[in-house]
Structures are given as structure tokens and as C-alpha cells.
Structure 1
Amino acid sequence: MLEDQFIEVDSIRTRYWEAGTSGSAVLLLHGIGCSVHEWESNIEVLATRHRVFALDLLGFGLTDKPAHEDYSLRRLARFVLDFMKVKGITQAHLAGNSLGGRLALECAAIAPQQVASLLLVDPAGMARRETLFEFRLATLPVLGEMFTRPSRLGTRMLWRKAFADPSFATEALVTQKVAYARLPQAQSAFLKTLRGFLDFWGFRPELVEQLDAALPGIHAPTLVLWGRDDRFVPCAHAEVLRRRLPNVEVQIWDHCGHAPQVECSQRFNQAALEFWQRGRIHGSDAVYSSNSIEE
């Protein structure tokens, strides 16, 4: 049974889950509007071979949501790296879904020595266009505040689009999403994060350009998994990573949407474990140190 744990990161009370007692470190990064619960079907399986951490990002889940915080992409990446520092993780395999995938790439660009490998799951922000209209609409002043007001109906409709099989958008999932979205400052943190990442036309061009320039310098072994039926971020965006990353493998999965770790959890767990095993063979490992000493 996974238990909520809390730690101070940059004076931010941060909720995380931890599982596994040995092996290389793995850090799981969720997408926008999500939480550690996105990894419920994965963390204990992955922990059979690794020490696994999942955290609620700044502004999401049960992590604090300061009203005057900077929710930019760079700030969120720094928050992830600072979490690693506080936990004594000197190097980790980073796995991220959607916004979490983009954050994993940002961490690799900022601190390459701390990233053993990248597992990018339907990562957001690879190209300018073709983002789900509902997200682009939420970037508009006033309309965004109205559109993102938490409701069961709106949440259900959105998350049914997240999966190739809409039945994965269960009533329990809807209840959980709405409960987190109704927490104090949650809507504000969501909109600040979204608007720092998107405008009405798609992913912000300056962030897309920065990523395009950074990708050739990211040499961490990278596995990209993308659901062919992703309606949030189309799998065609994987071509950017295939062309620009020097050490990448891309897999497009049929009958899977925006969250393969949920909808295709067994296949995801197997692919992740096999990828990290290959990483060790090729000399890239993740180091966990309880006293933060580099090996």
C-alpha cells in the first residue's frame, strides 16, 4: 500500500510516494492537472527492481500551491531537481507523461549529469500546433477561469478524451480529479502553469524553439512511448524527437491514448523495466545516496 509522504522542497510542502529498497533511482513525473495517482498501476511493479519516487509537482495534487509562485517550465524543472537533492538522489531515470515528459527533457538540458535516462510518455510541447482545443481555450482571460471551474461533467468529458477506451475515465477517477481541482489555489496554479506553456494557437513558440535547440545536446538514452490514439497531443509530434535526439528509440502503440502508463499499464511496466535494464548494460545507471554524496 502506497502511503503519502511529505517533504519540504524550496519551502514548499511536497507530497510524494516512494517504493523499493534497492536498485537504481527512478523519478516519475505526472502531467498537468494530475498527481502521483497517475502512477498507481506502475510504481509497485517498477519498485521490484528500482527505488521509485513519484511526486506531486509544484501546484498540483497535495503539494503546496503558493499564490505568488512562478509556475514556469524552468521553475518546475528546478523544483524536480531540488526534490532530487533533498532526497539525496544524485542521478535518476526520469519518466514523464505529458507535461512531465517536457519537464524531464528540461531537467536533462539543465543538469545532464543527474539524468541517467529519459522515458518520455506522450510528452507535451514538442511542436507548436495540434493541441487539444479545450486546453487552448483555457489560455484566454476570463474564458479560461470559467472553463476550468471544477465540475464532474466537464472533468468526465475531458478525461474520456484522454483514453482510447473511454471506460478508463471511471467515476472514481472523476471524483479524485474534481477533489484536487477544488483545493485552495488549485485552479490558479493550473491556469498559471497552462498559460506559461500554451497560448491560444498551441505550445508557446519560444519554448518550442528552445527545446529544438536543446535536443541535439541531450545524450541520455531515451525511450519515447506514444499512444496512436492520443487526442491531447498527436503522436506525429514524436517525429521531432526521432529527428533531433541523438540516442532515441520511438514506439507508437495502437489502441492507446494520452496516458499509456494507465491504459496500457502492463505493457508500459515491461517496456520501462526492459529499457532501464538496457541502460545499465550500456553503462548508464542511476545512483541513490542517502547522504547526497556523488559517486
Structure 2
Amino acid sequence: MSSTELPFVPPANMLPKVAPVRVAEGERLRSVGLPGITLSVRSRPPAREGLPPALYVHGLGGSSQNWSALMEQLDDTVDGEAVDLPGFGDSPPPDDADYSITGHARAVIRFLDASARGPVHLVGNSLGGAVSTRVAAVRPDLVRTLTLVSPALPEIRVQRSAVPTGLLAVPGVAGLFTRFTKEWTAEQRVRGVTALCYGDPGRVTPEGFRHAVEEMDRRLQLPYFWDAMTRSARGLVNAYTLGGQHALWRQAERVLAPTLLVYGGRDQLVGFRMAQKAARAFRDSRLLTLPEAGHVAMMEYPETVAAAFRDLLKDTAASDGGAATSSTGSRSSTAGQGS
């Protein structure tokens, strides 16, 4: 395949019938058609009218379901929506097969522009953290605050446990992996993902594990699943090599929105040592470190992340009202986690 040739991806009406995406009690799922993309959007009705809008952006291989626990915690604080990035969750591939960080950021911007809900409290995890950083840098008018959970920002020394994920970006590796793992069950795959992403896999409930297996089974039936994974991984690796104004760390420095950074001490994909660098890069930041958390703190410790998010909104509102709060520098805290 040449560098300009796009893979054939069947249109939505030609895709095989697969099981429907799970929608938790109290949630809604809708499809939003935009130029070049169709996005699936998950929402939970707010506890009352007039709450400020929030948008959640998932990581590589994830979906809007990754935010269900946090959305429920915050339904009395924000009017939240979670988007399935193109090619993930229940969103079909983008028409142009662009899975770069810029392509995903463009999808988020198109959705925010079309919904006219901005500026929003933007929340991103992993790949979604890199995407959200770019959105906040290039369209500050759309972002009121920024919350990043283990954002996938460039690291000089990548953790050994993160190397296999990065190798997905290498041409041919995904094909080899799929052939090597063709006999793996959905349950085996979920156990592997859980062990990689959670600080303590034991925190996953039997019900949560069953739902994850059902979702994995559904995704493996999609003809574009591995293409979306591979191209998004490649887009992330390519973003790490960009210099100048498009460099992610340079864009982090341009973010004007008050920023909450959440890092897990047991994260096997994003180095915990990057927490302090991120706190210095984002000009108006606060840092929450969770020693027992892994890569998806919002799923492991939703109550703790929700409390830090509420504090961010409270301080931002006080600053808007003229309270004497600092607009520069960073604050950090380490939270203990209970059951």
C-alpha cells in the first residue's frame, strides 16, 4: 500500500451486524453526523438544569464507556457528554482514515463547534489527553478547564511495559499480533488489558469484567478494529516526533485553561516521573498523584478524581469572581485511596 492509498473501509450500512454497545442505566447514546465523520456520544442527564457542560475523551483502544463511573460521580456538577473518537466505541471510521492526533482533535473541535456547548470542561485520558491538550492549545475559546488523566505526552525514556503498545505503530506488527493471538478469547484479552491498565486489577468487579468481555467480543467483529488501533498508535508516535509549534509539550505551554493533572503511581503506560514535568509545562496547573492507581484513575478511583475536579471548578469559579487566587504556578497533592 502506498503512503497515499487509503484502506477500504465499508460504509456504515455495509458493516456486519454486531451486538449493540452497552448503555448503563441512566445513560443515553446518540449518533451525531458531522462533515467527514459520524460520532457516537454518550451522556447522562444532569441532576439539575443549568450545570456547565463537560466533554470526556477516551484513550487508545478505549471508548466513552471508560467515563461512565466518573460521569455518574459528577452528574451533580456538570452536564457531561463522552465522545467515541472515530473508529472507536460505536463511532465508524473517519472518511479520510486520518487517525492522527490532529485528526482526532479536529473531530472533537467539529463536535464542539456543532453543539455550541463551549467553552466546556474538557477531560481526557491517555491518547485523549494528548488530543485534549491540542484542542485546548489551538482553540482556547472552546475550553473552560482542562483535566488530563495520564496524558500521553512525549517521553524520552518510555517504560518497557509501554513498548508493545508503541510497536503497534510499526507497519506489519498489528498483522503479526493478530495472527499470533487469533486463538485468544475475549476474556484472555480483557485480562491482559486490565493487568496493563489497572494499578490493582482486583478493583474490577465481576460485573465490570463481564461487560468488558462483551465489549471486547463486539469490537473484534468490526472489520476496522485493528486499523483504527494501528493508525491511532502511529498517529500518537508521530506526534511525539513533531517539533516547533506543533510539538505537544510546546502546545501544553500554550494552554490557558486552568488544568488538573492526574497521574497514577502504578501506571505502566505513562511514566509517573512525567507528572512534575507536566505540572511545570501547563501554566495554571494542579497535580493529583495517586500512588496505587494505574493508567485509568477515573475508572479505578472515580470518587477521588471527581473530588479533585470539583475543587478545580470551585477555584476557577472563585477566580472568575475576583477572588484572590493565583493564576500561575502549580499545586500538587497526593491522595490516599480507600476502597
Considering the TM-score relative to the shorter chain, is it more than 0.5? yes
Residue 163, structure 1, aligned to residue 198, structure 2:
yes
Offset from partner CA, 1:50-74 (integer Å, 9 cap, x none): 1111110111100111464211111
Max Rg structure: 2
Alignment deviations for residues 165-222 of structure 1 (CA, whole Å, 9 cap, x no partner): 11245243233134224313121111111111127xxx73226971222232212101
Question: 2:190·2:213 contact (CA, 8 Å) conserved in 1?
Answer: yes
The amino acid that maps onto 1:36 is S
Is 1:266 the equivalent of 2:294? no
In 2, distance between residues paired with 1:180 and 1:207?
35
The residue aligned with 1:13 is: 38
Task: Work out whether residues 127 and 240 of structure 1, in 8 Å CA contact, stay in contact via their aligned partners in 2.
Answer: no
Counterparts of 1:1-295 in structure 2, within 5 Å, are: 1-19=26-44, 20=46, 21-66=49-94, 68-131=96-159, 132-148=162-178, 151=184, 152=186, 153-168=188-203, 170-198=209-237, 204-206=240-242, 210-283=247-320
- Confirm or deny: 8 A CA contact 2:121 2:143 kept in the other structure: yes
Q: In structure 1, what residue type is equivalent to 2:102?
A: R
Letter in 2 for 1:12: I
Contact 2:240 2:247 (C-alpha < 8 Å) held by counterparts: no
Q: What SS class does the counterpart of residue 42 from structure 1 fall into?
A: helix
Amino acid at match of 1:143: V
Secondary structure of 2:273's counterpart equals helix
Tell me whether 155-164 or 172-181 shows the greater mean CA deviation: 172-181
- Return closer, same or farther for 1:234/1:126 CA change in 2, 3 Å cut-off: same
> Structure with the greater relative contact order (CA < 8 A, sep ≥ 6): 1 or 2?
1
Distance in 2 between residues matched to 1:207 and 1:56, nearest whole Å: 28
Structure 2 counterpart of 1:184, which letter?
Answer: P
The secondary structure found in structure 1 opposite 2:197 is coil
Stretches of structure 2 that go unaligned for 5 or more consecutive residues are 1-25, 322-339
After TM superposition, give the deviation of residue 262 of structure 1 in Å.
Answer: 0.5
CA shift for structure 1 position 24: 0.9
Moved more, 11-20 or 29-38: 11-20
| CA displacement at 1:37 relative to structure 2 | 0.5
Instruction: Describe the SS at the equivalent of 2:124.
Output: strand
TM-score, with length taken from structure 2: 0.77
Alpha-carbon offset, residue 30 of structure 1: 0.5
Query: CA–CA distance in 2 between the matches of 1:165 and 1:62?
Result: 28
Residues 1-44 of structure 1: per-residue CA shift (max 9 Å, x gap)? 10211111224221112232421111111101111100111112
2:169 touches 2:230 (CA, 8 Å); kept in 1?
yes
Q: What SS does structure 2 have at the residue aligned with 1:8? A: strand
Q: Deviations over 1:142-181 (max 9, x none)?
A: 2222325674223421321211111245243233134224
Deviates more, 1:57-66 or 1:236-245: 236-245
TM norm structure 1: 0.88
Distance 1:143 1:67, change over 3 A: farther
User: Aligned AA for 2:281?
Assistant: R
Structure 1 residue identity aligned to 2:235: G
2:105–2:131: 8 Å Cα contact kept in structure 1? yes
Shift of 1:95: 0.6
SS in 1 for 2:28: coil
- Aligned residues: percent identity? 24
Cα RMSD of the aligned pairs, angstroms, is: 2.1
Q: Hey, what's the Cα distance between the residues in 2 that align with 1:38 and 1:257?
A: 14
